[in-house]
């Protein structure tokens, strides 16, 4: 109920004058509702045929035909979003429905520009509430002040003018959810943009939702395999983890996430890709590639392209996260990718400056850290009591000239459980993925690896670190002793083994075989540029001649010495025959 202590007079608009008994009824209703004596004045108006409109301050009781119909429409819309057996419930609702005396709080637009509207008169509006403007345009409250609210608009602002009416809905921003969204491309409002018709929703989730508490979580201890050897071996990702992918523009950040999506085929993982500020052509190509790989069947694309307004880009990751939470709460595993949060922060900075918020470092508002922490904290591995579902987040951040100490990168590094840093120099050398071993880390580590993978990885990171250090010291030396030369050849071979083409994921068993062979110097005498072809041939040899070894790796609790020796024996057999 609105608290209008200054209003003691109400206005009744109708085409026909009310009777004395009706006026007494209005007076009695308002006096009880607002707990004070209210004077009612009648104003003749032909705008409300077959009904009336009662106004006190900013509260409006719309009892016209249109007002009653709007109440019924909202009721039916709610049933459609929240009920399984919709048609019978709708018929029963229409048959038994009686309109209610609901006060609509109405405000007035003061200014509108650049996707921002300031509104006065909505004393009880709450942060995140949806408002309805002219022509049904929706907006969300983003700024609360003493006498006015600031609102971001989700549609073209052209129909909205100074003096236009604005209605509260009492609802927070949300997105329809359901299994029918799989395989579809939608905008952050949940509307399909792939030209394949409407989507039947199972429910409605608020885009802003509190992250699960500590009691509602369990440890991250199940691997989410990307199929990328460099990542699964050294920087493993667990289900429920938040692993940042960071690097300069055009260093393969998106390529890693697409490989991770395609590798989930047949593994009962729902994938959600949130594109923020990307070119429409890039997203269309991405969707086409996923279709070719058969990955769209279990993937949802949430697209807020570069041509969309800043408010749409701002809500995109939260909307994608709400979709992921629906599946996580069903006990399923979800992989969600935010591509990228640098552009998201820029969109939020634009909105904040337009809302006259004080700028801070790099012109970002002071709450930009909270912007991403409240998003990424929603990734979790839920307790068994809540179904045991998980949501794994892979946020992407773009750096400038490799500067990981910039404001947004350092913020997100401090929020996530590790980062995979992609280095431009490695990328241009042909190392794909261009993972910098020294700056990358997974804070979950071996807990998110199978025991076989954990044992097979061995000293890989240490060996690569020693190689990179030795490479720097020997690059100007022409006279190397035999031991140093072999160490360099070994390191270069490891780097070659870690090279991997896009959309060519390895299975977990293949990764173990490659690691065992590489770390035991099986490829030491192979010419560097031929190592990848030899490695591919080796895996084919295992598949064709010794498929039992892969089965034993899958079923083993670790990597027993006898199994390891057998892998090496078969590898040497292949090397002698090739």
* Neighbour-count burial of 477, counting CB atoms closer than 10 A to its CB (0-12 exposed, 13-18 middle, 19+ buried): exposed
Instruction: Please state, in angstroms and rounded to a whole number, the distance separating the CA atoms of residues 225 and 237.
Output: 7
Q: Name the β-bridge partners of 251.
A: none
- The count of other CB atoms within 10 Å of the CB of residue 544 is 8
Task: Go through 480-511 and write b for each residue having 16 or more CB atoms within 10 A of its CB, e for each that does not.
Answer: eeeeeeebebbbebbbbbbbbebbebbbbbbb
Listed in sequence order, the residues at least 6 apart from 294 whose beta carbon sits closer than 8 Å to its beta carbon are 265
Q: Which helix (H) or strand (E) holds 396?
A: strand 390-399
Could you tell me the two tokens for 71? Answer: 């109440």
CA distances, 555 to each of 38, 217, 338, 452, 474 (Å) = 79, 28, 35, 9, 44
Report which of 75, 81, 138, 74 is spatially closest to residue 326, judged by C-alpha positions.
81
Could you tell me the two tokens for 29? Answer: 């209703």
* DSSP states along 522-566: TTTTS-GGGHHHHHHHHHHHHHHH-HHHHHHHHH-SS--HHHHHH
DSSP secondary structure code for residue 188 in this structure: T
Using CA of residue 78, residue 80, residue 81, residue 85, what is the dihedral sign?
positive
* Neighbour-count burial of 68, counting CB atoms closer than 10 A to its CB (0-12 exposed, 13-18 middle, 19+ buried): middle
Out of 374, 443, 461, 468, the active site residue is 443
Place of tokens 């190689």: 467
3-state secondary structure of 463: helix
443 given a catalytic annotation: yes
Q: Are residues 416 and 408 in contact, defined by beta-carbon separation less than 8 angstroms?
A: no
Place of tokens 């419930």: 89
Instruction: Please state, in angstroms and rounded to a whole number, the distance separating the CA atoms of residues 292 and 142.
Output: 41
Instruction: Please state, in angstroms and rounded to a whole number, the distance separating the CA atoms of residues 125 and 7.
Output: 19
Residue 252 Ramachandran class (φ > 0 left, ψ -120 to 50 alpha, else beta): left
3-state secondary structure of 258: helix
Which 3-state string (H, E, C) describes 398-425?
EECCCCCCCHHHHHHHHHCCEEEEECHH
Instruction: Please state, in angstroms and rounded to a whole number, the distance separating the CA atoms of residues 304 and 283.
Output: 10
Could you tell me the two tokens for 376? Answer: 């990424």
Please list the active-site residues. Answer: 443
């Amino acid at each position: 109920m609105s608290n209008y202590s200054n209003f003691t007079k109400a206005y009744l608009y109708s085409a026909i004058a009310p009777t004395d008994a009706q006026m007494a009824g209005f007076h009695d209703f308002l006096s009880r509702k607002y707990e004070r004596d209210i004077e009612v004045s009648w104003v003749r108006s032909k705008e409300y045929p077959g009904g009336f409109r009662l106004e006190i301050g900013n509260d409006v009781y719309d009892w016209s035909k249109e007002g009653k119909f709007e109440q019924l429409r909202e009721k039916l819309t709610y049933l459609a979003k929240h009920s399984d057996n919709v048609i019978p419930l709708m018929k029963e609702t229409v048959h038994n429905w009686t309109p209610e005396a609901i006060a609509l709080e109405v405000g007035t637009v003061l200014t509108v520009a650049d996707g921002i509207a300031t509104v006065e008169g909505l004393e009880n509006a709450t942060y995140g509430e949806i408002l309805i403007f002219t022509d049904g345009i929706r907006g969300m409250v983003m700024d609360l002040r003493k006498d006015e609210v600031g609102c971001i608009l989700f549609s073209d602002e052209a129909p909205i003018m100074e003096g236009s009416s604005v209605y509260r809905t009492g609802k927070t921003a949300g997105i329809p959810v359901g299994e029918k969204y799989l395989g579809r491309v939608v905008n952050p409002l949940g509307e399909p943009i792939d030209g394949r018709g409407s989507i039947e929703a199972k429910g409605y989730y608020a885009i802003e939702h509190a992250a699960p508490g500590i009691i509602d979580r369990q440890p991250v201890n199940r691997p989410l395999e990307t199929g990328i050897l460099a990542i699964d071996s050294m920087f493993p990702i667990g289900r429920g983890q938040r692993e940042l992918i960071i690097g300069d523009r055009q260093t393969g950040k998106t390529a890693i996430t697409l490989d991770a999506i395609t590798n989930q085929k047949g593994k009962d993982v729902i994938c959600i890709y949130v594109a923020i500020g990307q070119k429409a052509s890039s997203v269309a190509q991405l969707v086409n590639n996923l279709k070719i790989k058969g990955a769209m069947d279990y993937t949802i694309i949430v697209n807020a392209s570069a041509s969309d307004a800043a408010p749409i880009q701002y809500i995109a990751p939260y909307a994608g996260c709400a979709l992921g939470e629906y599946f996580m709460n069903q006990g399923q595993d979800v992989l969600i990718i935010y591509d990228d949060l640098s552009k998201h922060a820029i969109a939020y900075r634009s909105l904040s400056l337009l809302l006259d918020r004080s700028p801070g470092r790099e012109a970002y508002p002071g709450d930009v850290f909270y912007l991403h922490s409240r998003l990424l904290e929603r990734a979790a591995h839920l307790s068994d009591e809540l179904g045991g579902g998980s949501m794994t987040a892979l946020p992407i951040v773009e750096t400038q000239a490799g500067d990981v100490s910039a404001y947004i990168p350092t913020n997100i590094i401090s929020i996530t459980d590790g980062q995979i840093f992609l280095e431009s120099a490695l990328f241009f050398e042909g190392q794909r993925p261009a993972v910098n071993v020294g700056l990358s880390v997974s804070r979950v580590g071996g807990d998110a690896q199978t025991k076989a993978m954990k044992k097979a990885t061995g000293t890989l990171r240490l060996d690569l670190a020693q190689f990179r250090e030795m490479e720097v010291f020997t690059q100007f030396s022409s006279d190397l002793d035999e031991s140093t030369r072999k160490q360099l050849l070994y390191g270069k071979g490891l780097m070659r083994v870690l090279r991997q083409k896009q959309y060519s994921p390895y299975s977990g068993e293949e990764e173990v075989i490659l690691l065992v062979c590489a770390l035991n110097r099986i490829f030491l005498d192979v010419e560097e540029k031929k190592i990848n072809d030899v490695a591919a041939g080796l895996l084919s040899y295992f598949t064709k001649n010794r498929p039992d070894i892969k089965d034993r790796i899958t079923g083993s609790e670790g990597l027993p010495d006898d199994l390891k020796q057998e892998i090496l024996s078969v590898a040497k057999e292949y090397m002698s025959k090739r």
